[in-house]
Structure 1
Amino acid sequence: MSVFRERAEAQLAELDLLTSMFPTELQIVDQLALAELRNQVEVEAEGQTSSGEAEQLPSSRPHFVINLRLDDGTGAPEGVDFILSCTYPPDYPSVLPELTVGCGQLTRAQRPRLHSALRAHLARACPGEPCVLPAVEWLRDNLGDFVRASPSAAPPGDNDDDGEGAFARLWIYSHHIYNAAKRKNILEWAQELRLSGFSMPGKPGVVCVEGAREDCEDFWARVKSLTWKRITIRHREDISLRRGSDADSLRKFHAFQEALFDGSRGKRADLGSLYRFLREKDCHHVFHAYFGVEGQR
């Protein structure tokens, strides 16, 4: 059995277990990635590929979320809702998965501390083993301590340190964006994180997201975890917010949408249309950052 097949079967086995334990709470975000992983394992098991072909990795990675509630007397009468988001790297479970915990009762300063403590625990408790269920159990035992340590009386953002609540706008460049599952992920993740902006599929691929800096960083971490030929942040804008200031007034876009600028060469994007779109949003200054030339009206 190849190393790839062994790891893939461990991922599938854990997902089957989690689905049986959390039938309504677990949601597969990228169904195509899961289907590709199952198909790859089946093909190799049937001996239909050479060893070299069998090691070819799927084009995207399984990503799922588990919606849970903590009822442990933390002081919230309705309980504490949290979301565990997980993406499997190709080498999982030899390496830790990419885990993100979303909880409205945590301050932005507390979230990275929670993530660091969770990863440290998993590295000690289950090295080289499936660890999503242990992660859920650890969160049930320890999330309440982080919630209680988060000052609940202050408005959101008042407890953040030195710009933790800053507004950000990220301009992401990809060699291309064709894959339907990736396009769906980009739209869904931006909406989940309350980000505005746009995604331009085709070649090249352009994505802009704006909103709370932490949410933009979360979006970038998820997107770059997918399999890309090339993807990078070409330009970013970070704006410090004063207490009580309205972050929404800084937005250039009212929502997040997929913007199609089809050129005459099929899947290659029409950069002239992109430039005119950016001018309408007063963002045309980034065109040079993307392509090294000034745009034309």
Structure 2
Amino acid sequence: LFARCNTLRRQQQLQLNAGLASLVSSLDSGEPCVYAAVQWVKDNSLPYLANSQASAESASEEVIKGMLHRMWIYSHHIYRQELRKKIFDCAKKLNLTGFCLTGKPGVICVEGLQENCEEFWRVIRYPNWKHISCKHVENIEAEGSVDSLRLFRAFEDLQFQAHGDYGLRNDYHMDLGQFLEFLKQHQSGHIFQILLGVEGKVAN
């Protein structure tokens, strides 16, 4: 004999049938068992059903937690097209959002799963990018998907107006006032001092 119920979870169903098997084995040989088995199930199924419902409610209340990882990377400069292509291709492949600020200084922010951020950091440094450092790391616990905690919707290409008449030569300095304003718009104004070592002030 085997009892089956669609509302029972697998573990509760196994326990119910173990009890039923114990009843059947206790009956005398040749004694009709169907009526006794049906009656036993009627009398004993409620606790199993209650346990199954409690387990289902507990599972529905359990929230899967994730971790958003955000890395703030500083470089003396970022100019070369092949390097910029490598940065953007890698961020896209690893489903990372953030930005790359081209010029002098160069700044990269990536956010996503920790293993993807760490892989990005490994790839872009190889084989010989020396003037680069990870200045700050943030880990933020999320209930459910980490996407709700991202500060950036995509991986952006930042190129602010350069100071003076540098044009696009390899010594042009980005307008850091515009960069600070960008950070503040993305709830990250405090990062300016961490990256550059000076307190940021937006020009009036």
Please, what TM-score do these two structures have when normalized by structure 2?
Answer: 0.62
- How many angstroms apart in 2 are the aligned matches of 1:229 and 1:179? 14
Deviations 1:177-210 (A, max 9, x none): 1111000011111011110000001111000000
Aligned to 2:53: none
> 1:264: how far off?
1.8
2:157 maps to 1:262:
no
Which residue type is aligned with residue 294 of structure 1?
E
In the alignment, is the contact (CA less than 8 A) between 1:175 and 1:229 conserved in 2?
no
Aligned to 1:293: 198
In the alignment, is the contact (CA less than 8 A) between 2:78 and 2:106 conserved in 1?
yes
Aligned residues: 133
Runs of 4+ in 1 over 4 A off after TM superposition: none
**What is the 5 A alignment of 1:18-167?**
166-167=67-68
- How many angstroms apart in 2 are the aligned matches of 1:262 and 1:226? 31
Aligned to 2:181: 276
Deviations 1:118-159 (A, max 9, x none): xxxxxxxxxxxxxxxxxxxxxxxxxxxxxxxxxxxxxxxx7x
2:106 maps to 1:205:
yes
Aligned to 2:115: 214
Where does structure 2 lack aligned partners over 5 or more consecutive residues? 1-63, 167-171
Where does structure 1 lack aligned partners over 5 or more consecutive residues? 1-157
Among 225, 235, 248, the residue aligned to 2:147: 248
**Greater Cα radius of gyration, structure 1 or 2:** 2
> 1:239: how far off?
1.7
Aligned to 2:126: 225
> 1:251: how far off?
0.4
In the alignment, is the contact (CA less than 8 A) between 1:166 and 1:213 conserved in 2?
yes
- How many angstroms apart in 2 are the aligned matches of 1:188 and 1:213? 18
Which residue type is aligned with residue 250 of structure 1?
L
> 1:229: how far off?
4.1
> 1:226: how far off?
3.9
- Greater helix share, structure number: 2
Please, what TM-score do these two structures have when normalized by structure 1?
Answer: 0.43
Distance 1:283-1:264 versus aligned 2 partners, 3 A rule: same
> 1:278: how far off?
0.4
- How many angstroms apart in 2 are the aligned matches of 1:247 and 1:229? 31
- How many angstroms apart in 1 are the aligned matches of 2:135 and 2:159? 20
Aligned to 1:182: 83
> 1:167: how far off?
1.2
In the alignment, is the contact (CA less than 8 A) between 2:73 and 2:107 conserved in 1?
yes
- How many angstroms apart in 2 are the aligned matches of 1:262 and 1:237? 29
- How many angstroms apart in 2 are the aligned matches of 1:235 and 1:253? 17
3-state SS of 1:166 partner? strand
